[in-house]
Structure 1
């Protein structure tokens, strides 16, 4: 998550340094979480066939190489492409890291804590990453940010390789990879997000944007048809959607993650473009996100013992909703402590509470054979939601900006996030139903849903 946070605070400065329009900043930011979310399901399947640890090591090599190459890029298109390719490595890390955790800890308190800590890395990593563009952008040439990330990644993944034990054998060593399903699913997700994000730059009057959106929907249809009728070992078992409350949980989580992506970006946009903060001050604004993100991870793991998972989801969605309201209603010029500071505290609870509750709901509703896929899907919702939220909000901003400055467009984009997170909270409360006594996991002979 560090490159995501670095893109949030460094994107605007990098756009200025490479002499591109400020509206293109969205691509510098969104390119990394776009692929990080899109390729998660594929990463989980690769890990099942070749081993989760092996998949993470391979992902680390991809992540480091393209961070390094990004440091040599000097245009918004080439830089965004390199960030996107690095995001593929990040995508492979997420499901396989979760798999290593959940296979080593049986359902219960320790699994809840480890999943909660893993979820905390989203706000902590994003907030921590937001600091580095200050050093490599404000105090040094911006491209050193990517050289630094390549060095940091080399150290972290090397440490992982030597310290973390792998599995005795892969989960599905004789399995086959579904190339056609992977192509249809990944292409559909990338084109769908691309059309919305590019619409925030050029508007919907460009015919190619409509065309790409239609092509993405066609690929989604082909993906469903292939997975249901032809795939022998599908990338995504579509029967998973028949599990109790699973559809409602995924919709609620996706809407909330979209809202989180919106508020995180527009806090920086407001501070940088309207209040003219330096990069370091923009990064300092995210300090509560790291501190409260760690606290939220612990609270979410403990709350599972006392609250139903759907209530924890609703709390996370409502916290994000209130955060969006605070930012949308603040004056153009105002001291940080009045509304941005409490908004930062509240938004830190959204990803942690949602991620922990979603993983618990998945483990309580789907069969054991499907839990790896369910965990990967939740990872997809997190990163893809962050990227897609930027596209939707940017489109609203594009059409509602006034000639007096960007503030009016910012407010309308943030109100879109308010609607998303408010709806997410209602969906969690009304349609998600997980008995509290089932939150510690199901016995194999009691597992709900249909046969895999």
Structure 2
């Protein structure tokens, strides 16, 4: 990356002083240029250059993982940069918008499932695959894409993911049956799975731990509800007033414009582990296990558990998970999930809690949609507009999470989000068929935005703060897997509950309520697990830590 950054000399002092945190290679390059110019240095306003070596004071126990403190392995440094603020923040904004665009595709599946499905002759149950296919593969492939970015370069993986997403989103418009459309939605999800964690990694590598990173991640997280809900609104207009194929033409063009601009704006990043190896065996075991497990649960409501292949595939999926864990812990040379993450007390429990919350959120999003569509007969435009409160509250919640994660322990932040998931599903499970939108759906939408973004933003901030720069992509992959995979898997579990309550289609309302009660159960379990097993102190990390801080120091 250093080769692409402008050279700092005494003649460019004015420009270099307008900077924002970037990557450690800029410090090395700056030092080399200073030496080449007779030792002249450019200092930032009100900041002495020696502050690059001044460690942050630490208190006893900061380096003790048993205390539950996020690791502070060494000195904290301030980082100057040779990239202007204008370019760095332009890059940040464009990367953030990529999350909104790829979430448009998720919204397209939620609002458009029945419209598109009925247009190609599919039943309501079969049409759920239009909603489930995209987050299924996105969540599954997110698991390995962070590691791919670490070895091959995060920008390259971002570019590859964007290309896949655009191509298969465009191809979806040419689908003629439910199987073909679902497969192409799944292939587009692979592109999203490659795109999202590498976008997160580019942000977390660019901005060291602290307020600026928290702001960047909060912006990124806020695009989840903005993109999902905004996508629902735009998708509703396309589905109601045009042929459904135009929706996917529009998404492909939008992706080409936004992703193209982001790729141009992002500077070429250095490969953080250029000599590293990809654990292809572990990648196969992990991804195949996730895909099979999710497929079984989302297919079960359609074919029923009496079909033998459901049990066979479920056993095969669990077998993949078991072999994956054994392989990664004993034989993998470069495991796709760095095991130092799990050494932080309570982190494993936090992962389970986040997954439960995201499953509860996925259940809510689908069942409030089908409730309004099938029982209140809302058209696609009204359905899309009903998600606008979720976009607004989600945006605010993401920034609130970025602020509050420094003020409260992690378990409190997650508990607040999980409590919102409990209440929003209670509202949907108990609301009457005929009622004004403002009575129960509106507050439920407000809570849905707060729930998803508080937990997602807090999880990303905490995960990115406990690992080194080398593992930023992997940390982003882990939280991203939980989010999108949870949205899809929760839908499969809830579909099974719905189909057994709504026997032969005679109790549609009961089926929807039963699914919502399952969402309440997931969120309630998350609260209990958090209170019992999650103990993490406030995230007050500022600047790079440990070996990253050392590499940032200029050499004499």
Q: Distance in 2 between matches of 1:22 and 1:440?
A: 50
Taking the TM superposition and a 5 Å limit, the aligned residue runs for 1:32-431 are 32-167=134-269, 169-366=270-467, 369-402=470-503, 403-431=505-533
Please say if residues 196 and 391 of structure 1, whose CA atoms lie closer than 8 Å, have aligned partners that are also in contact: yes
* Distance in 2 between residues matched to 1:19 and 1:445, nearest whole Å: 58
- Please report how far the alpha carbon of residue 433 of structure 1 lies from its aligned counterpart in structure 2 after TM superposition: 1.3
Q: Is the 8 A contact 2:408 2:537 kept in 1?
A: no
Deviation at residue 359 of structure 1 after TM alignment: 2.2
Cα distance between partner residues in 2 of 1:364 and 1:162: 28
Deviates more, 1:138-147 or 1:428-437: 428-437
TM (norm. structure 1) is: 0.95
Per-residue deviation, 1:145: 1.0
Query: Scaled by the length of structure 2, what TM-score is found?
Result: 0.78
Q: Which secondary structure state, in structure 2, belongs to the residue aligned with residue 233 of structure 1? A: coil
The number of aligned residues is 446
Following the alignment from structure 1 to structure 2, what is the Cα–Cα distance between the partners of residues 366 and 46? 17
Unaligned runs of 5+ in 1: 448-452
> How far has the Cα of 1:10 moved from its partner?
0.8
**Helix, strand or coil at the partner of 1:338:** coil
How far apart, CA to CA, are the structure 1 residues paired with 2:112 and 2:175? 15
Q: What is the CA-CA distance between 1:366 and the residue it aligns to?
A: 4.7
**What CA distance in whole angstroms lies between the structure 2 residues aligned with 1:4 and 1:32?**
7
8 A Cα contact 2:418 2:523, kept in partner: yes
Matched residue, 1:6: 108
- Contact 2:201–2:472 (CA<8 Å) still a contact in 1? no
Moved more, 128-137 or 317-326: 128-137
Hey, what does 1:450 align to over in structure 2? none
CA distance, structure 1, for counterparts of residue 548 and residue 261 of structure 2 = 40
Once residues 439 and 24 of structure 1 are traced to their aligned partners in structure 2, the CA distance between those partners, rounded to angstroms, is: 47
- Which has the larger Rg? 2
Gaps of 5+ in 2: 1-102, 550-556
Q: Distance in 2 between matches of 1:375 and 1:411?
A: 34
Structure with higher helix content:
1
- CA gap of 1:418–1:437, structure 2 versus 1, over 3 A, is closer
Report the CA distance between 1:144 and its aligned residue: 1.2
Cα distance, 1:388 vs structure 2: 0.2
- Bigger shift: 12-21 or 188-197? 12-21
State the superposition RMSD in angstroms.
Answer: 1.8
The CA deviation string for residues 14-38 of structure 1, in whole angstroms up to 9 with x for no partner, is 1111111111121010000001100
Q: Deviations over 1:193-250 (max 9, x none)?
A: 0000001212211111111000111111221222222221122234533321111110
